[in-house]
Amino acid sequence: MAKLLFVMTGATYWTLKDGTRHATGYWAEEFAAPYKALSGAGHEITVATPNAVVPTVDMMSLRPDMAGSAQIALDLEEIIRSAEVMRRPIHLANARLEDYDAVYFPGGHGPMEDLCVDPDAGRLLTAALASGKPLAVVCHAPAAMLATRIHGESPFAGYRVTAFTNEEEEAVGLAKRARWTVESELIDMGVDFTKGEMWKPYTVVDRNLFTGQNPASAAVLAERLLAAL
């Protein structure tokens, strides 16, 4: 049995370009699908957030039209409700990589508010990348890689990475309202950004780094992480 650390946003909103707050959090499918697959395989999961706040689900991710159907939305809610680890997260500052066999960052717009500038997220990502342990990051969560920059340089530069694309952000109507987009910032940081078809599962593996493009990629990413474990 492996021990996995899920690093999750503690944000409940995302500040847009005009200063308004867009209600957000983590995206349900990006937690629930990997949690179900990994815990179902017998692995132990710990959740960490900034200041140990209980993560907030983005309610839009539980809408039937966003989840895929009313039944899928209900299933996601049940997985989240039954996940006791979600109600007792540890403080991200206290998370030690040596205690875990792999690290996973679910997305949602929340990481664009907090994890992207969180020094503890940056420290953990840098250590995980250097360790050779599986490191999985999906959708908007690659925004946390921005916190690894020191004097403008990131250890993720040169890695093949995918994340939520500019086209997908435009499709949900938020690209023009955003202060920045994940794809553009990662490219500016020096990653080798790659992407697949909008809304379809697309994952990339470069050494020990596993990334997924969008919510539909979370389950596939979990399968690849399980295989690596």
Task: Give the pLDDT of residue 7.
Answer: 98
Q: Which residue in this structure is represented by tokens 């794809």?
A: 183
- Contact, 169 vs 108, CB < 8 A? no
pLDDT in tens, 42-97: 999 999 999 999 999 999 999 999 999 999 999 999 999 999 999 999 999 999 99
Residues 19-32: pLDDT tens digits? 999 999 999 999 99
Q: What is the 3-state secondary structure (H, E, C) of 171-210?
A: HCCCCCCCCCCHHHHHHHHCCEECCCCCCCCCEEEECCEE
Bridge partners for 90 per DSSP: 48
d(CA 225, CA 105): 12
Predicted local distance difference test score (pLDDT) of residue 51:
97
What is the model's pTM? 0.97
CATH number at residue 109: 3.40.50.880
In this structure, are strands 135-138 and 209-212 parallel, antiparallel, or unpaired? parallel
**Is residue 45 within 8 Å of 85, Cβ to Cβ?**
yes
Cα separation, 103 vs 63, in Å, equals 28
Q: Which domain holds residue 195?
A: 1-226
Structural domains of the chain, count: 1
